Structures are given as structure tokens and as C-alpha cells.
Amino acid sequence: MDAFVLIGSFVVLMMLGVPIAYSLGLAALVGALWIDIPLDAVMIQIASGVNKFSLLAIPFFVLAGAIMAEGGMARRLVAFAGVLVGFIRGGLSLVNVLASTFFGAISGSSVADTASIGTVLIPEMEKKGYPRDFATAVTMSGSVQAILIPPSHNAVIYSLAAGGSVSIAALFMAGVLPGLLLGLTVASICVYKAHKHGYPKGEPIALKDAFKITIEALWGLMTMVIILGGILSGVFTANESASIAVVWAFFVTMFIYRDYKWRDLPKLIHRTVKTVTIVMILIGFAAAFGYMMTLMQIPMKVSAFLSEFSDNKYVILLLINVLLLFLGTLMDMSPLILILTPILLPVVKVLGVDPVHFGMIMMVNLGIGLITPPVGSVLFVGSAISKLKIGVLTKAMMPFFVALFVVLMMVTYLPWLSLWLPKTMGL
């Protein structure tokens, strides 16, 4: 009955249109009143939920990504990707995927990836003879890489939701191979479609121009080197590398590229602060909600239920995948990580699943949710950019959904994809 009151009140509040963060906080208060504990305990959990040093990485990563996204980095990455793969048949679609790989390694956000790359490439692909719905589907599918390739904001949130027991550096490295596999899979569909429908080849770029494009892009790509190199070498912590990345992104944008106007900088910082504020409110209320779940022994009850259902690790992982895919279509990624990690992580630990591996399973599942109706945030951004209806885009996404599901199964049942790099690097 306790679980029904807590989760039921959360669901009812969401159905009434209350934002997810406030639904979590109010449901925690309802749960506290139901089991008769002081409301002060809930308030303490909200405060302690955001009073964590590791959370400082999130605003810095968001700010670095925002500066590079609006400072001309996306356009230069697209040009650089064109140098590498633009001359192949269907090359512009491959440019789209590769640019998402590069930009995802800077922004860590699928929404920012779709908005930045899509604004540049969707009109360009349509002009070159690609269907607009296909161009948008490629952009959205490729952007899921940003969830996996470091620096992923959601990897930091997963580490927090796991109680800080999972290394952020290990999660960053764990996402590299699954992210590249996802990009390669999407690119394979692009090549197949290009040959089937006769999409055009791009013109080879002259060596002099290719050199200039590469140099311009490398300034921005150094952000990725700073983030990963600093963490892996032990010179920086995740927080320190994120803050240094902000300084570098600011320097490159304002003094090297000089596409961004100084008068627009306060507006960018204001938008970043609003985004981070929303995330922090969500984390604080989710901490209180998780505390109530622990008091009501919901994680243990879920674990017992799944153990009674089956003791086969692969069956349990399949059930968890189905659950995550379903919930990912109904809720955004961050709150689901915060809510479900304390429930599901103890279950998979008992089965011998590495927490880092499980983090990647969650990321791929919920990343697919970002491009799935009815509430996929990336899907809405793609629709706004392309001016196509959700139904049209969903139909165009079907081949990519199949490909992403294949990647999900590989990440789930081939643990080495996630664990090889972290173990090789001693993380």
C-alpha cells in the first residue's frame, strides 16, 4: 500500500500536468505524511541531494557545450566531416552522422546536437536531393551518440543516482565503444539507403581547403581532448576538466572563431543557468523521492518480484529493457535515471551485472526514448527544425529504430563493449 500511495500520487500529479520535478517532490511529501515521518526529513534529503561536489561538472559541461554550439562549432564540424566522408555516395548523410559524433563529444546533449547539426544539415541535405524526413531521421538518430560518448551529462547523473559508487571516468570510457557502434550502425543504414535511392555523392574538397577546414575544426575538437585527456591522465577531476573546458570553449569562440557577439553572451549564460536550475531542482526532489522509496523498501520488493519471476540473468535484463523502453516513451531521461537506478541497480548487482555496464544499458534504452513519441524531446526538436509532423518523422525513423534496437541488444548481452576500455585503462 505504501508503494501504491507514493507512486500513485506521482502518476496522478503528472497526469494533472504538474512538471515532473514538482511531481516527485510533492509525491515524496505525500509519502512522508502517509508513513508518518517528519516533513523535515524530506527537506533534508532535498538539500543533501544537490549538496554534492560531483554535481558541479553538470553546469560546466552544459555551459561549454552551449558556448561551442552557438559559437560556430557545429558549422565547422560539419565542414570537417565533409572532408572525411563527404565524397562517398550519400556522403552528406554520413557527414551528418560523423558531425554528430564530433559534436556529441563536446556538448554531451542529444537535444543540443539535433538543434545545432540539424539547423545546418537538414536544409542542406534537402537542397541536395535527400527527402526532408530522411534527413531529419538521420539527424535525430545520430544525436543519440551524445548520450553515450563522453562527456555525457546523464552519465554524471547516473553516477549520482548510484550513490556515487560508480566512477564518472569509467562511465565516460564505457560509452565510447557503444557510442561509436551506434554511429556506425546509423551510417550503415545511410549507405544502404543512398545506394538504393541513388542519393548524390559530394564533391571532393581541394587539399588546400581541406587543410584550412581541419585546422579550424581542431580548435573546437581540443575541447574533447581537454575533457578526456585531463580525466584519464589524472591531471584533472571531472569537475576541473569541465571548468577548464568552459575556459577553452570561451577562448576559441570569442577570440579564434569570433562568430559570436559579446552582447549575446549574457543571454547564453542566462539560458544555461535556467537549464541547470531545472536539472538541480529535479535532482533534489528525486533524492527525496528515492529516500521515500528506500524507507518503503520498494527496491527490495522489486528485486524479490523479479527473482521470483526468473533467476536467469538474461531474462531479467530483457524484462528491464522492455520496462525502460516503455517508460522512456513517457518520461524524459534524467528523471528516469534518478528514479529507476536506485530500484534496478540492486537487482542487477545480485545477478552479477557490472554497474558500469548497467549504466550503458540504461543510457541506450533511454536514449531511444528521446526520439520516440509521444514525449521524445529530440523528436520534438527535429519536428520544429524540419517543420514535419511527428507522425511523418516516426514513420521515417522505423529503419533506425530497428538498428538502435540491435545496438541495444549488443550492449546488453555483450558486456565487453562497455567494460573493455574502462578495464584496459584501470578505471
Q: Which cell is 407 given? A: 545496438
Mean pLDDT, range 341-364, rounded to an integer = 91
Angle between helices 238-251 and 57-70 (to 10 degrees): 20
pLDDT: which is higher, 274 or 201: 274
Whole-number Å distance between alpha carbons of 270 and 277: 10
pLDDT given for residue 364 in this prediction: 94
The per-residue pLDDT for range 67-81, each reduced to its tens digit, is 877 777 777 888 888
pLDDT at 227 over 80: no
Q: Is residue 363 a contact partner of residue 356, using CB atoms and an 8 Å limit? A: no
pLDDT at 93 over 80: yes
pLDDT band at residue 182 under the 50/70/90 scheme? very high
Residue where the block lists cell 547523473: 157
Mean pLDDT, range 348-369, rounded to an integer = 92
pLDDT band at residue 409 under the 50/70/90 scheme? very high
Residue 179: exposure state from Cβ atoms within 10 A (0-12, 13-18, ≥19): buried
